[in-house]
Amino acid sequence: MKRLSKKLCLYFILAFLVVCLINVLTSKYNKENDLKSYDEMFNTFYNYSKDSGLNGPKVSMDDPNLIRKLRDHFLVKPAEESKGRRIRYNLSDRSLIDPSMGQAMEIAKIIDYTKGGFFIECGALDGETRSNTLYFERYYGWTGLLIEADPLNFIKMLKKGRRAYLSPSCLSVNPYPEIVSFLQRSNMGRIANDEVVEDEVISNDIEKKTSPVVNVQCFPLYTYLLALNVTVIDYFSLDVEGSELNVIKTIPFDKIDIKTLSVEFFHVKEGDDGVRAYLEEKGYIVTAKVTRQDRLANDYIFAKPSVLTKNVSFYIT
C-alpha cells in the first residue's frame, strides 16, 4: 500500500513536470512567433527616416513611381486571395453582427448595399473593434481597403482574416506623400504635428509624453485608388482623430466618385460645421448625425443625392 502511493505520487510529480514543460515551451514558442512577426512587420513597414525618397511637395499624387511604391510595399492582399481560398474570419466576438457605433446602419439606410460594394476605412483600428465596414464585407460581399497607421493595431488586424486590402500607412493631410510622426495610443492614435482638438482626457502633458511615436508613411487618398485601380467608392469611413478635413481637402472629387461618407468631426479644429460646409460645397448632403454620450461616435453621414435609394429627409441641425 505504501509503495503504491509512493509510486502514484511519483507519477503525479512526473505528469506535473511534463505539463509544466509543455506550457513553458509553447508559451516561449508563441512569444517568439509573435515577436518575430511584429519585428518583421515593423522593420518592413515602419520607422523610415524622414528623408527617404518619393516624399514631399514635389511628388505628385499620381506619380507612377509612387503608385508602384504603394502597390508593391504598402498593400497586403485580402485574406482569401493570399490563401487561394476563402478563409474564416478570426473575430473575438463572432456574434456581433455590426460592431460599428451606428454608422453602418445609417449607410445601409440610404444606399443599396446588398449587391456588394467597395469601401475605404481609415483608421481601421484592428479591423473588428467598432469597425464601420465589417458588416458590409461579412454579410454582403463588399471588399475594400483598411488603412491603419499604428503597428500595434495593424498586426491585430492582420489576424482577423478581413477580405479587404490592408495598408500599414496613413492618409496624407497634404496633397503629396510624406512620412509623419504618429502618436501610438490605441484607438486615439493620430498624426503628431497636425493641429487638432484634443480630448480633455489626453490633453495633459504627461499622457502626451508617454505616447510612443513611430514614423509612418502617408499617401494621399487618390494614390491608393490609383494603386488599386478603383475609381468608385461606395462608402468611405474616415476617423483619424482630428485630421479628417485636411485629408478630405486632398481628394480630387472630379476624378473619383465617393458615394457616401461617415466623417468623425469631434477633433477637427474647424469643427463639425467646417467639415459639413466643405463637403456640401462638393455636392454632398448630410443624411444623419451619429453621436453617443460616451463619444465613441461623433460622425456626420454624407451622401451624394444621386445615390440615395429613398427620399430621405435631409438632416437639419
Ligand X SMILES: *[C@@H]1O[C@H](CO)[C@@H](O)[C@H](O)[C@H]1NC(C)=O
Single residue of 120, 171, 214, 247 touching ligand X by CB under 6 A? 214
- Which CB atom, from 10 or from 213, has the smaller least distance to ligand X? 213
Q: Which string of x and - marks every residue 222-251 that binds ligand X (by CB under 6 A)?
A: -------x----------------------
Nearer to ligand X, 31 or 269 (CB): 31
* Min dist. Cβ of residue 208 to ligand X (A): 14
Q: Which is nearer to ligand X, 47 or 309 (CB)?
A: 47
Judged by CB under 6 A, which stretch of 136-144, 201-209, 210-218, 302-310 contacts ligand X? 210-218
Question: How far apart are CB 31 and ligand X at their closest, in Å?
Answer: 12
Give 122's contacts (C-beta < 8 A, 6+ positions apart).
Answer: 146, 147, 148, 170, 171, 237, 238, 239, 240, 247
Binding ligand X by CB under 6 A: which of 15, 213, 232, 296?
213
Looking at beta carbons only, is 120 or 263 nearer to ligand X? 120
Instruction: Confirm or reject binding of residue 159 to ligand X (CB under 6 A).
Output: yes
Overall size of the chain counted in residues: 317
Pick the binder of ligand X from 5, 95, 311, 317 (CB under 6 A): 311
For the segment 45-64, give every residue that binds ligand X (CB under 6 A): 47
* Interaction between residue 293 and ligand X (CB under 6 A): no
Cβ-contact 241, 268 below 8 angstroms: no
Confirm or reject binding of residue 44 to ligand X (CB under 6 A).
Answer: no
| Residues binding ligand X: number (CB under 6 A) | 9
CA distance 179 to 218: 6
Nearer Cβ to ligand X, position 293 or 311? 311
Residues at the interface with ligand X (CB under 6 A): 47, 90, 156, 159, 213-215, 229, 311
